[in-house]
Amino acid sequence: MIEWINFIYLLSAVLFMLGLKKLSSPATARAGNNLSMLGMALAIGATLLSPEITTYRMILVGVGIGAVIGGVSAVRVQMTAMPEMVALFNGCGGAASALVALAEFQAAGNAFTPFSMVTLLLSVIVGALTFTGSVIAFAKLQGLVPSRPVCYPGQQLINALILVATAALGVAVYRDPANTMGFFYLIIAISLVLGVLAVIPIGGADMPVIISLLNSYSGVAVAMTGFALQNNCLIVVGSLVGASGIILTKIMCDAMNRSLANVLFGAFGAGDAAVSGEGAEGGGPQGTVKGYELEDVATVLENSASLIIVPGYGMAAAQAQHAVRELGDILGERGVEVRYAIHPVAGRMPGHMNVLLAEADVSYDVLYAMEDINDEFSETDVVLVIGANDVVNPAAKTNPASPIYGMPVLNVDEARTVVVLKRSMNPGFAGIENELFLKENTMMLFGDAKKSVQGLVATLKG
Amino acid sequence: MDSAILIGLYIFVLALFAGAELIAKVPPTLHTPLMSGSNAISGIAILGALVVAGESLTLKGNTVVGVLAVAFATVNVVGGYMVTDRMLQMFKKKK
């Protein structure tokens, strides 16, 4: 029986891999997700037949509660809130791994090999901090706690001391598991606190990195649980998820030209909160901001041959994606070539903008990644920047003194005309001034992104 | 080191490489579904949770931990797959 169950686990692992493989194209991705679901169903079904399970009563309770919460949230969540949702689901995965490891520890008494003891401890620690870290990321994205970095003196020292204390407790439990149950609970409590402390100093604009990293942590926690339970299916999945999270983390860090350590400990954007809000007085870049009316912008758009739309978090915040698609359609009908350029860290999670535009029915073949479209800005009539700021800041290319110097940015300033839709002149999330707004060929259109785009649509239909 | 551990390590390392190859081929446009989808499969901890929740006929302390674990893992699995499917069905190519 056990052999058969393990054989089915192998089938599941293959289905998970095939599912990921089919994610290589939007055309096959949905089928891939179905394969992955099938793999999960097989693995769960096989486990339910396991001779160790004697009653389904409590299982049904747990599955019932979880399915209702998960299902209802998945159906209700708005696409703009996807980063929060993914963070929360991810936290649940971390919690599940930690709880399974806890149960295993309670059940086994002192019958541990050193290896299973170490993996159990790692599973509990990583699982617990993934849980609270994800909850804090969720709260930051929802605005329940300040999304600016929360800092206090000695922050890193305190975190380091906590980490040392956790390790010391871990060693004590490792040496004498039968008599250190209290220490084990203490480790869980400390790990939960550590998850909170690790995420609060990270700013909202760095969320794509943190969500990716937490994703990989939940994979690590599952893999460690797999080692402790000697369940190869958990090990395979843990590897896949861990790899996925790490790769995305690296892509996000590269897209900001920052190291992971800098994201985790740099408290980026914390000190610059007081940068001038109105115009560019003082030592900032020289030039004047030129505000325009809807009619001016509509005329420019209408008379262009090529347009590249650059969406940012502001589009998500204003729920403007449907209006943007409508604008694109109208201009497309009038012979304008409309494309979209998407920076890897636009939004609050990897691929955030793509999902929103897909929701609004924008064809995925007009969505271009930065490296595929960056050379084309110089031959483009108009660029429409909607709620993006740092990812289009030319200072990243030209000003070595800028905090974002060296970050790969979209070359929007090379287009003939740049139209920027912006709520106000407040600096972006990183708190950095943007000289793009002051350039000769830049037209600013102030106001809520959704209202502005709807206004443009109305004017064009006029 | 006993052989089960060694086999587990082999699986871990080889799956890491396979995963890295597969995921490197996912285009940026699908990075959000990739996250939520890989998130859903990380709910695989449910396999361990089911055994804990179902192994005892009497209600022990561990059973409560097991039920909690099943609930958390189910949120992850059900929510993760459903939300991924919801997103993927929106990705369309228009003429």
Task: Report yes or no on B95 lying in a domain.
Answer: no
For chain A, domains (ranges, CATH) are 82-265 (no CATH), 294-461 (3.40.50.1220)
CA distance A398 to A411: 12
Work out the pLDDT band at A213, boundaries 50, 70, 90. very high
Q: Summarize pLDDT for A59-93 with one digit per residue, the tens.
A: 999 999 999 999 999 999 999 999 999 999 999 99
Residues of A in contact with B76 (CB under 8 A): 66, 70, 89-90, 92-93, 96
Paired strand residues for A422: A446
What pLDDT shows up at residue B95?
Answer: 60
> Looking at CA atoms only, how far is residue B59 from chain A in angstroms?
9
Task: Report yes or no on B15 lying in a domain.
Answer: yes
Residues of A in contact with B66 (CB under 8 A): 58, 62, 99-100, 103
CA distance A105 to A188: 12
Q: Is A109 on the interface with B (CB under 8 A)?
A: no
Among A24-33, A155-164, A187-196, the minimum mean pLDDT is found in A155-164
What pLDDT shows up at residue A204?
Answer: 83
Q: Is B6 on the interface with A (CB under 8 A)?
A: no
What pLDDT shows up at residue A278?
Answer: 35
Contact map slice: A 224-243 vs B, CB within 8 A: 225-227, 229-243
Mutate one of B23, B38, B70 to test the A interface: name it (highest A CB count within 10 A). B38
Contact B29 A369 (CB under 8 A): yes
What pLDDT shows up at residue B2?
Answer: 78
Task: Report yes or no on B57 lying in a domain.
Answer: yes
Q: Is A38 on the interface with B (CB under 8 A)?
A: no
ipTM of predicted complex? 0.96
Residue in chain A closest to B74 (alpha carbons) equals A66
Type and span of the H or E element at A17: helix A2-22
Domain span at B43 = 3-88
Using CB atoms, which residue from B20, B46, B89 is nearest to A30?
B89
Mutate one of B1, B6, B31, B44 to test the A interface: name it (highest A CB count within 10 A). B44
What is the side-by-side order of every strand in the sheet holding A417-422?
Answer: A367-369, A337-342, A306-311, A382-386, A417-422, A442-446
Find the mean pLDDT for residues A205-212.
Answer: 90
Burial annotation B76-91 (CB, 10 A radius, 16+ → b, else e) = bbbbbbbbbbbbbebb
Contact A92 B43 (CB under 8 A): yes
What pLDDT shows up at residue A59?
Answer: 95
Give yes or no for residue A48 having a pLDDT over 60.
yes
Among A79-83, A150-154, B1-5, B88-92, the minimum mean pLDDT is found in B1-5
CA distance B48 to A94: 13
> Looking at CA atoms only, how far is residue B37 from chain A in angstroms?
7
Task: Report yes or no on B39 lying in a domain.
Answer: yes
SS3 A373: helix
Find the mean pLDDT for residues A325-339.
Answer: 96
Q: Summarize pLDDT for A238-287 with one digit per residue, the tens.
A: 999 999 999 999 999 999 998 998 888 877 765 443 333 333 334 455 67
> Looking at CA atoms only, how far is residue A344 from chain B in angstroms?
7
Residues of B in contact with A66 (CB under 8 A): 70-78
State which amino acid sits at residue A326. E
Contact map slice: B 45-64 vs A, CB within 8 A: 45-57, 59, 61-63
Give yes or no for residue A95 having a pLDDT over 90.
yes
The neighbour count for residue A31, using CB atoms within 10 Å, is 14
What pLDDT shows up at residue A275?
Answer: 37
> Looking at CA atoms only, how far is residue B31 from chain A in angstroms?
5
Sign of CA dihedral A232, A247, A267, A150: negative
Task: Report the candidate in A83, A87, A74, A100 with the shortest Cα–Cα distance to residue A131.
Answer: A87
Cβ-based contacts under 8 A for chains A and B = 379
> Looking at CA atoms only, how far is residue A289 from chain B in angstroms?
33
> Looking at CA atoms only, how far is residue A153 from chain B in angstroms?
34
Tally of structural domains, chain B: 1
Find the mean pLDDT for residues B26-53.
Answer: 95
Cα A164 to chain centroid distance, Å, stands at: 29
Work out the pLDDT band at B56, boundaries 50, 70, 90. confident
Residue in chain B closest to A123 (alpha carbons) equals B45
Give residue A209's region: left, alpha or beta (phi > 0; psi -120 to 50).
alpha
B36 CB burial (10 A radius; 0-12, 13-18, 19+):
buried
What pLDDT shows up at residue A423?
Answer: 86
Q: Is A49 on the interface with B (CB under 8 A)?
A: no
Contact A86 B11 (CB under 8 A): no
CA distance A210 to A368: 24
Residues of A in contact with B52 (CB under 8 A): 100, 103-104, 107
Task: Report yes or no on B78 lying in a domain.
Answer: yes
CA distance A312 to A384: 11
Using CB atoms, which residue from A70, A100, A218 is nearest to B78?
A70
What pLDDT shows up at residue A2?
Answer: 83
Give yes or no for residue A141 having a pLDDT over 70.
yes
Residues of A with a catalytic annotation lie at 390
Task: Report yes or no on B69 lying in a domain.
Answer: yes
Contact A351 B35 (CB under 8 A): yes
What pLDDT shows up at residue A214?
Answer: 95
What pLDDT shows up at residue A431?
Answer: 63
Give yes or no for residue A110 having a pLDDT over 80.
no
Phi then psi dihedrals of residue A307, to 5 deg:
-135, 135
Q: Summarize pLDDT for A335-363 with one digit per residue, the tens.
A: 999 999 999 999 889 999 999 999 999 99
What pLDDT shows up at residue A148?
Answer: 85
Work out the pLDDT band at B57, boundaries 50, 70, 90. confident
Contact A248 B67 (CB under 8 A): no
